[in-house]
Structure 1
Amino acid sequence: MHEHTVSGQAPDAPVTDAGEAPGGAGNQGPEGKRRKGTLAGFATAALVLTGAAAVVAAGSLLPAPESSRNLPAAVAAVPAGESLGVCPGPARLLEGTQAGTDPQFSPESATAASTVTAAILGAAGVLPSSRLSLLDGTTAVEIAKDSGEVPAEGARQELIAGVLANRQVDQATVVSADALANQQASAAAAMKFTATDGDLQGTAAANCQRPSNDQWLAGASTTVGRTSVLVLTNASTTPATVSLELFGRNGQIQAPGSRGLLVAPGTTRSVVLAGLAPGEPQLSVHVRSAGGPVAAAIQQSVLRGLTPGGVDFIAPGAAPAVRQVMTGVDIQDPAGVAALTGRSGYEDAAPALQITVPGPSDAVVEVKVYGRDGQKSLPSGGVITAKAGSITEVSLAGVPAGHYTVSAASDVSFVAATRISRGTQEGQPSDVAWASSGVRLGSQHVVPVPRGGTRQLVFGALDARATITYAAITADGKVRAPSTADIAGGTTASIAVPDKAEDADVVGYVVSASGDAAYGAVLVEQDGRNDVSSLAFQPAAAGQETVPVTISY
């Protein structure tokens, strides 16, 4: 810039040597003036450039103005929020269903019952305030009162529990626990529906879900005799606008009426999926909400002619990922299953893995099934190609009877769930359940165990050995001494849940894992009946969270 200023002077501009007045003895002709002017211009330019360099050099040594300095990102603590679980209401028939002429197959049930079981952990003799509420905010049961105390620092952190054991309910409910000492409460709850007569006979259990704005549910069906009802519950004070993405066997389904579904605060909305996607033998639903978060579940029931074929609550599984793991999978005698599924109307009475690929690329999926004594071979060979934007079913028929963990892995993200069936006699009531994909076990998972029937903790370790510790929570609020299970890699272990521990009813467990990746579920069955349900362990409490905050202009 300075050089441009010097060269821009007029050639004949009068420039004098320093100390000489114009017209003095030192003056020469025009040529001398030009030479002197040029030399003086160069000298001035040199001085300007030298001064500029000095300024630049000085600027590199001086601190920048405060307004332009970068400040390091500060970490701000976010107040721990309320622990919340929304429990679905009892299984119900669609309105307008008429009773059959044979009372044995009446849709009405005299034995149907729904209960909620919950456990909330505390320490050092202090429990977080917690309750069971209705959707309108009315408290139905106070589990623990706010004592106004916090656990003392350095005090012995012996665990205690607030317990809700087998509480009868007749509608959707909410189990909530306040934060304690700015730590999110460790809490979990489960709802169990049972009926021994009517069209909905069987067992359907579901975890009480933390509301979310994005969730995936797999395992629905809308063919003849199959009823799938999506239940959306908004327990917040903000309206929720829900949009659904539907995926079937032949690709994504564009369904009018699947967008902009309003769920008002404190209400439940039911959507009959056959109205959006009729005749689909396999159906997955992606639920997204704007505004308030919602809890979603699918009430799935089967009627094979006049024979009840089971009832279940399909819960959200893990978000799309390159690996999905389901445990608590109970497989029956393969010969009996093969004989039954060969009959008309029983094609979906066999165990199977369903894979949904929501993205634009096909997924090459490797499926492994781990039992008590290691990995089992699959009829498909274990490697399949799942088409993009659709559902692919992988049969587990032929796998020996037992409890299993199913692992599926690919280089493309997908969603998965595993179907469980009980009953091998045609014309006899049977039951169905879906094992949703779960989370890797960490520290201090609260696992509610619904009362009644045969209950088992099922753990699966994948590649290497895992160590599981589990401590019973009893109805008197005590957390008993823990036990330890060492599980070899590539195996599944089952632990029977006793009715009582030291003369008190067992209502749940505190479970922690170390070592290689391990997964867990509660398998609920009924002696002398074909009832079955599988509950994947919920994530552990998040505790206090921090977020980076950058301050800048």
Structure 2
Amino acid sequence: MHEHTGSPAAAEHKPAAGDDTSRGNLPTPGAKQSGGEKRARKAVVGSVASALLVLAGAGAVVVAGSALPPVESSRTVPPAAAAVPAGASQGVCAGPARLLEGTQAGTDPQFSPESATAATSVTGAVLSAAGVLPPSRLAGLDGRTTVELAKAGDKAAAEQRAQNLLAGVVAARPVTGPSVLTADPLANQQASAAGAMKFSATDGDLQGSAAANCLRPSNDQWLAGASTTVGRTSVLVLTNASSTPATVSLELFGKAGRIQAPGSRGLLVAPKTTRSVVLAGLAPAEAQLAVHVRSTGGPVAAVIQQSTLRGLTPGGLDFIAPGAAPAVRQVMPGVDIQDPAGIESLMENTGYEDAGPVLQLTVPGPSDAVVEVKLLGRDGEKTLPAGGVVTAKAGAVTEVSLAGVPAGQYTVSASSDVSFVATARMGRGLKAGTASDMAWAPSGLRLGSQHVVPVPPGGTRRLVFGVLDTRATITYAAITADGKVHAPESADIAGGTTAAVTVAEKVAGSGVVGYVVSASGDAAYGSVVIYGADGRNDISALGLLPAAAGQETVPVRVGY
């Protein structure tokens, strides 16, 4: 590379002594010019004139350019709303409850077979749109179809367009492992579908019943109500039904605060698989444990299999499902509270300290929460013996006893100016030394329009609704095993109360497998509570799942 030293025209001119060009190459005034000097003078003048013309032209170009409108790419274009294609409705159903046999190094468990009487089934329904059922199926994690609810272009469904609503139904289908209920979108609308799994056993350490909704996979969910003290077993079950690997990290909260647990981060769940984690390996001897499950990559469905053994006596089984995300108000409908005198007598026995009804509050943030708790019964609000205001510590789990109010079904409402997570425990059985059961009622969502509510068979089943402030009207239409959606019934519920509707075994000669539920008016919440048959102390609770999402749009900005 050569250094540029300038052109000869730009070189410095050093005139000699007496040279007339020392004054700008122009002759002095009055000097006589030779012919050569005249020609030189004309050349200089011409050059200057040419330069002036170039400068004038450049100025004209600049002025003209300034007067032109801006080019198209420099204009501000408002973002356009683009419709997002509707996705499939997917619910991941947990597999049967399993008894722990031992634990390998780390946190992955080994399981023993179920008891001789253990049975697990899935019940679900998918609603039609414009008289046509969307393609839908119940399948295993490996993709093999167990039940086909409707095929694409199902002519049988199309011929029944005269009926407003049809349903594809899974009626208590026995399963031996995790399963997935899927309904494809129809006419670019997400299908209305929901399913629930129910486990029951009348012998062994896992006596009782447990039910869980078929969950929509998520990358962020909260589960509260676990316990890892002596006789209590908590197994977190993570299911990845997607085709993308999921990396899961757990945040653990106990009574004393956050729990730093080696091995709680970077848990890999391969596609189409389930991974189980024994929570006692991460947080041993915790009577009150909440888990925040977050994943990157594929979304997961998370439940906690919680079981209790009081000495040699089975103390209950439940599948703890995710509740509502942290918020300043949490509502738990369908909390069944037994006779207060019987609860007090039972809890005096060794090993039964956790047999009573409680509300658990988890505050994930850095500030304490002052929480107001209300119990709304059939005839209005009931006052807790210890008062209705409690301080929940930041970063910890706080427990509030719900014992001492008259027996009945309640909606528990908790509110604060700090976001928190909540869940409520209830039990059945008041005699020590006999098998009992328990269930957790997760915080629910405000009811809207056309929720599909599966109702697993067996025992006494109730729809429980709670209304907080003024009044609300609930409509519920039965879905039967023959695929019919029957005429809706309605209930007008006063604010500050809880109402229950007993589910009939059959409607028009066909078994009831679910309901279509809608609400109008003030904020209303709902759940399904299932009691054991033949006088057994079984109890299970299901929150109502969100209704199908409408068509969504996102803003699209064009630029570079």
TM bin (shorter chain): 0.7 to 0.9
The 3 A distance-change label for structure 1 pair 544 and 149 is farther
Native 8 Å contact 2:97 2:114 kept in 1 = no
1:504 aligns with 2:490: no
Native 8 Å contact 1:233 1:267 kept in 2 = yes
AA in 2 matched with 1:535: L
Partner of 2:395: 389
1:334 aligns with 2:337: no
Native 8 Å contact 2:367 2:393 kept in 1 = yes
Deviation at 1:139, TM superposition (A): 0.9
Native 8 Å contact 2:527 2:544 kept in 1 = yes
- Separation in structure 2 between the aligned mates of residue 533 and residue 358 of structure 1, nearest angstrom: 27
Native 8 Å contact 2:471 2:495 kept in 1 = yes
- Separation in structure 1 between the aligned mates of residue 182 and residue 481 of structure 2, nearest angstrom: 18
Deviation digits for residues 405-454 of structure 1 (CA, Å, limit 9, x no counterpart): 01111111110000011111010110010000111000000000001110
* Partner SS state of residue 336, structure 1: helix
AA in 2 matched with 1:424: L
1:530 aligned residue (526, 532, 537): 537
- Separation in structure 1 between the aligned mates of residue 78 and residue 237 of structure 2, nearest angstrom: 46
1:265 aligned residue (268, 271, 278): 271
Partner of 1:466: 472
Native 8 Å contact 1:185 1:543 kept in 2 = no
Comparing 388-397 and 116-125, the one that deviates more: 116-125
The 3 A distance-change label for structure 1 pair 247 and 62 is same
- Separation in structure 2 between the aligned mates of residue 416 and residue 426 of structure 1, nearest angstrom: 28
Native 8 Å contact 2:98 2:113 kept in 1 = no
- Separation in structure 1 between the aligned mates of residue 463 and residue 206 of structure 2, nearest angstrom: 26
2:383 aligned residue (372, 377, 401): 377
Which aligned pairs between 1:92-491 and structure 2 lie closer than 5 A?
92-96=98-102, 109-147=115-153, 158-491=164-497
Partner of 1:521: 527
Partner of 1:543: 550
AA in 2 matched with 1:219: G
- Separation in structure 2 between the aligned mates of residue 435 and residue 362 of structure 1, nearest angstrom: 24
- Separation in structure 2 between the aligned mates of residue 440 and residue 156 of structure 1, nearest angstrom: 32
Native 8 Å contact 1:431 1:531 kept in 2 = yes
* Structure 1 unmatched ranges of 5 or more: 1-13, 15-21, 25-47, 98-105
- Separation in structure 2 between the aligned mates of residue 107 and residue 131 of structure 1, nearest angstrom: 28
2:78 aligned residue (45, 57, 72): 72
Deviation at 1:123, TM superposition (A): 3.3
Deviation at 1:149, TM superposition (A): 7.8
Deviation at 1:366, TM superposition (A): 0.8
* Partner SS state of residue 159, structure 1: coil
* Partner SS state of residue 338, structure 1: helix
Native 8 Å contact 1:182 1:544 kept in 2 = yes
AA in 1 matched with 2:550: G
Comparing 374-383 and 252-261, the one that deviates more: 374-383
Native 8 Å contact 1:469 1:484 kept in 2 = yes
Partner of 1:33: none
- Separation in structure 2 between the aligned mates of residue 481 and residue 303 of structure 1, nearest angstrom: 45
Deviation digits for residues 211-252 of structure 1 (CA, Å, limit 9, x no counterpart): 001100000000000000000001001111111000000000
Native 8 Å contact 1:123 1:157 kept in 2 = no
- Separation in structure 2 between the aligned mates of residue 502 and residue 149 of structure 1, nearest angstrom: 25
AA in 2 matched with 1:179: P
Deviation at 1:379, TM superposition (A): 2.2
- Separation in structure 2 between the aligned mates of residue 178 and residue 114 of structure 1, nearest angstrom: 25
The 3 A distance-change label for structure 1 pair 150 and 502 is closer
The 3 A distance-change label for structure 1 pair 126 and 107 is closer
Native 8 Å contact 1:378 1:396 kept in 2 = yes
Deviation at 1:62, TM superposition (A): 6.5
- Separation in structure 1 between the aligned mates of residue 156 and residue 484 of structure 2, nearest angstrom: 19
* Partner SS state of residue 345, structure 2: helix
TM-score (norm 2): 0.85
Native 8 Å contact 2:98 2:114 kept in 1 = no
Native 8 Å contact 1:107 1:200 kept in 2 = no
Deviation at 1:198, TM superposition (A): 0.8
Deviation at 1:367, TM superposition (A): 0.8
The 3 A distance-change label for structure 1 pair 253 and 156 is same
- Separation in structure 1 between the aligned mates of residue 68 and residue 195 of structure 2, nearest angstrom: 62
| Number of matched pairs | 498
The 3 A distance-change label for structure 1 pair 480 and 157 is closer
AA in 1 matched with 2:301: A
Identity of aligned residues (%): 74
Deviation at 1:147, TM superposition (A): 1.1
Structure 1 moving runs of 4+ over 4 Å:
148-152
- Separation in structure 1 between the aligned mates of residue 347 and residue 260 of structure 2, nearest angstrom: 31
Native 8 Å contact 1:150 1:181 kept in 2 = no
- Separation in structure 1 between the aligned mates of residue 152 and residue 361 of structure 2, nearest angstrom: 45
- Separation in structure 1 between the aligned mates of residue 358 and residue 556 of structure 2, nearest angstrom: 47
Native 8 Å contact 1:82 1:179 kept in 2 = yes
- Separation in structure 2 between the aligned mates of residue 255 and residue 346 of structure 1, nearest angstrom: 28
Deviation at 1:141, TM superposition (A): 1.3
Which aligned pairs between 1:29-108 and structure 2 lie closer than 5 A?
63-96=69-102
Native 8 Å contact 1:460 1:490 kept in 2 = yes
The 3 A distance-change label for structure 1 pair 471 and 23 is farther
* Partner SS state of residue 340, structure 1: helix
AA in 2 matched with 1:538: L
Native 8 Å contact 1:124 1:151 kept in 2 = no
AA in 2 matched with 1:531: D
- Separation in structure 2 between the aligned mates of residue 129 and residue 67 of structure 1, nearest angstrom: 45
- Separation in structure 1 between the aligned mates of residue 163 and residue 189 of structure 2, nearest angstrom: 14
The 3 A distance-change label for structure 1 pair 380 and 183 is same
Deviation at 1:64, TM superposition (A): 3.2
